[in-house]
Structures are given as structure tokens and as C-alpha cells.
Amino acid sequence: MKRILLILAVVATVMSCSRDEDHNYSAIENLIGQWELQSRILNDTDPQPTDDAKFIFRDDNDIRDFKGLFTLESNDTSSGTFKITNNGNVMEFETSNGITFSYEYILNTATLVLGYANADGDVVKETWIKTSNFID
């Protein structure tokens, strides 16, 4: 009888122990979602007008890499792929029609700051606010 109770106790203990599940977290998880343009500043001093722009970031088929898909909805809509470079603070974009561009970025929980030099050589910094973690 003691042996049966011991076996039952061991089986119950083994069955009740939870095993950590393998979670599939995306390498770009904090970027995934919808972002709306909050502000645009030229050369760190001159506020610029903003339009109703939205960036939408999605994961690609490999959640382990630092690559994903984007859609930029503004006056024109463009989409394509992006990746975070080995430098860690540069995002490189390639649109579906082959145009490439790069932004330096700073990512906080709900704020994304993108910096780039425009055609005149001025430094533009855009602040984007995350409005949704979920994408249709």
C-alpha cells in the first residue's frame, strides 16, 4: 500500500510540474504594430508640419531575424521590407518598387524616433507614437 501511495505521489508531482513552454517571441516584437506621426523637427530646432502618416510594421516569415514588412500610409502609400542592421540603431527600408532608404532610430516602449538627412542635407527627426500592437 505504501508503495502504491509513493508511486501515486511521484506521478502526481511529475504531472503537476509545469514545463516552461517555448515562447516564440519575434526579434522585432517591440516594433510590430501601428505607429502614427506625432512631430517632425528640422535640425533639432525648427518644428515642421506633419501629415496624417501611419507606419505599420509586421513580422516576416522568420521571427528570429531582425527583418520585417512595413506599410507607410501618408500622402502616398508605400510598402516593402525593412531590417535592423548589425549596428543596432539603423533601420534600412526597401520599397516594393526597389527604392531604399535608411533611418537612425531610437525605440522606447511607445515612442519611435526616426532620424535622417533630407535632400538639402538638413537633419530631420520624426517622433512616432504607437497606437496599436495588433495588426489586421
Ordered structural domains, the chain, with CATH? 28-132 (2.40.128.280)
**Whole-number Å distance between alpha carbons of 47 and 39:** 8
Give the bridge partners for 90, in sequence order.
104
Say yes or no to pLDDT of 125 above 90. Answer: yes
- Global pTM reads 0.76
Give the bridge partners for 125, in sequence order.
41, 115
The confidence score (pLDDT) of residue 86 equals: 76
**Whole-number Å distance between alpha carbons of 67 and 61:** 9
Q: Are 78 and 95 in contact (CB under 8 A)?
A: yes
Band (pLDDT 50/70/90 cuts) for residue 62 is confident
Q: Which residue has the higher pLDDT, 127 or 25?
A: 127
Q: Cell numbers for 66, please give them.
A: 531582425
Q: Which residue has the higher pLDDT, 18 or 99?
A: 99
**Whole-number Å distance between alpha carbons of 2 and 77:** 73
Q: Residue 1 CB: number of other CB atoms within 10 A?
A: 5
